[in-house]
Structure 1
């Protein structure tokens, strides 16, 4: 295999409606027909990727929750994960509590199925997320104390109006086993997101794993945010979206168009010589 193309989803492969456009779907179908390998690496859970990419069949495993979870969406099964240390997990939750940030967690249960653990859901984004998880028939553990969580914790996250999450990377810098990402919610004004996972479960670690699994000689990555920097650093070629962060553009091979203008589709058509 010559190349493996890896696409971020939000702000990159999908549009402002959180869906893949018809023109981008046609471009990915062209890749499949030409035998060009591609996959996705996203901050979403597998269920969220399925909503954004309905009816899409993958020929290669995908990376979720910023790379900490390698999953096969076709067979709905875990391939590899990097769990958080339980003591570090509890310490992070305590520190988030001290700043008024409600920590929630994603877990793999004993049957290797994805679930979540919550203590309370206060704002509309948290409540909507819990309703969504329940609608997907995923196990929601409700705890007053996270010491009693069942299963393996692989992700801590928050959906909040508290802008303090943007400074949590500094607050938690002395905890060696974690990686912290945060930003403004691109789909919901006034809200912020926070994602924390094992330091060796980044998108960079994920694309290295996927490249080894596929035997690809070259790695070509596409993204828009700071959680894409690690995979850009692993890539032979890396393309930032015009709507992306300046720090990502600084380490990119070059910048292409906006996700809302189907920039990925037109880039692929030009690179591989097909018409849309």
Structure 2
């Protein structure tokens, strides 16, 4: 990758399979990539004590985030590099829980080390199962009296009980503390986790990113407690088994935890980065052709996923939208938009036969049911009536248009009154371009307008309400205009 990137994965339900271990393939893939220079670590709700057991096949030695961000641990020495504790106010929380008959498990650090304490004769079934699963754990600390729960510096509280018993406390504490309220993916039991407000996977991830001197953060997850992590990342990928709320936040969806989704994605991403130059040259980005073109398009689907997801946020989708994708390439943009319009009609055009085939393969189900149509055609003269589409988009193809001023008027013609058109690109003329960007512009004769030139082109074609969007920390541009 051009920028130094931290790849950070959740464990349970994401990197770990349903047997709560990393598979042989995941171990092999991550160890190989780390040995080749990839920066990889994990962020988990687990303790370091249990996290290291379930990841013992991975040889990565970078710091890891445990207890949902309460600690950042040196995975070689086990030393806590960053620690976050409650203040005295935590006593009130525990007392209020006890008053309602909820007996929490309290995690703390004292001179005798890290412990999780609970009143041993006040266990719910879920708590008893949890304690049994931690048999032999040196942190296991059953106590006789409530007063012993307050020993040491407290950093984490968990309650396993009935949903109706825990929900009122989640509602009460969620704006004062960092709370996670969800079902355990293995037992199905309802958990309420309470941490200091400044504790989260996202804050710890940003601290770790800075600690390691990385410029980008790419994350993987499956559960509700990964939402804040997804929101702070440059790219975020939900495994296929993830909850729907997280999938909505994701840059894209990858294969499930049981199918080694994270490891397979990492292998593809790193390999694509290494092969990008040769595959792009052979595949011909101006007009993809042959097997190399098909391979290049598959890579572009992944590489352009983040910028496309960002740009689509500037569309307000309606269920019955008529949408056109100009230069549809590998078909990923069409797929993303199809998820947002239940009764709409999507059309893709590309003047490359290979691109048309690739898009058709990517969207075969939508084509079969009549929701989508993909045709071989050029932006120079599109085979559509005036005012045919509510939304028009072009992603990473504007560079190659033969006559930008004339072609934009053709776009204006097919866009319906009140419709929106957006141009999406991952570089623009005002960005801080590096040597590779400049080399690529020259090699492939790319048209790379400045932000003001985008505005002028759209204005001259007749578009109104023009907005030019950029994203901090990226070279991306999204130029939009209405008819």
Q: Taking structure 1 as the reference length, what is the TM-score of the superposition?
A: 0.89
In 2, the alpha carbon distance for the partners of 1:149 and 1:98 equals: 15
Unaligned runs of 5+ in 1: none
Q: Is the 8 A contact 1:12 1:258 kept in 2?
A: yes
Report the equivalent of 1:145.
146
Unaligned 5+ segments in structure 2 are 273-483
Distance 1:233 1:20, change over 3 A: same
Q: Equivalent of 1:52, from 48, 51, 54?
A: 54
The structure with the larger Rg is 2
CA-CA distance at 1:166 after TM superposition: 4.5
Q: Which string of whole-angstrom CA distances, capped at 9 and with x for unpartnered residues, describes residues 38-86 of structure 1?
A: 1010001111112211253332111111111111232122111110122
CA contact (8 A) 1:23 1:262 kept: yes
Asked if residue 273 in structure 1 is aligned to residue 267 in structure 2, the reply is no
| Alpha-carbon shift at residue 262 of structure 1 (Å) | 1.1
- How far the C-alpha of 1:254 sits from its partner, in A, is 1.1
Deviation at 1:134, TM superposition (A): 5.8
Cα shift at 1:188: 1.4
Partner of 2:137: 136
Corresponding residue for 2:179? 180
1:115-158 alpha-carbon deviations (Å, 9 max, x no partner):
12212342344234445556132362625234762211000012
Runs of 4+ displaced beyond 4 Å: 131-134
Instruction: Specify the SS of the correspondent of 1:244.
Output: coil
**CA RMSD, Structure 1 to Structure 2 (Å):** 2.2
Bigger relative contact order (CA 8 A; separation at least 6): 1
Q: How many residues align?
A: 269
Q: 1:148 to 1:234 in 2, by over 3 A?
A: closer
Aligned counterpart in structure 2 of residue 223 of structure 1, from 198, 221, 224: 221
| Mean Cα deviation higher: 205-214 or 26-35 | 26-35
The separation in 1 between residues aligned to 2:5 and 2:127, in whole angstroms, is 39
1:235 maps to 233
Q: 2:31 aligns with which of 18, 29, 32?
A: 29
Alpha-carbon distance between aligned partners in 1 of 2:174 and 2:203, rounded to the nearest angstrom = 20
| Counterpart Cα distance in 1 of 2:9 and 2:144 | 36
Which 10-residue stretch deviates more, 21-30 or 123-132?
A: 123-132
1:156-194 Cα offsets, whole Å, 9 max, x none, are 0123355533453213246x2x111021121114x2222
**Is the 1:163–1:192 contact (alpha carbons within 8 Å) kept by the matching residues of 2?**
no
**Separation of aligned partners in 1, 2:4 and 2:97:** 44
**Do the aligned residues in 2 keep the contact of 1:90 with 1:146 (CA within 8 Å)?**
no
| 1:114–1:139 contact (8 Å) kept in structure 2 | no
Which of 189, 192, 195 is the aligned partner of 1:194?
A: 192
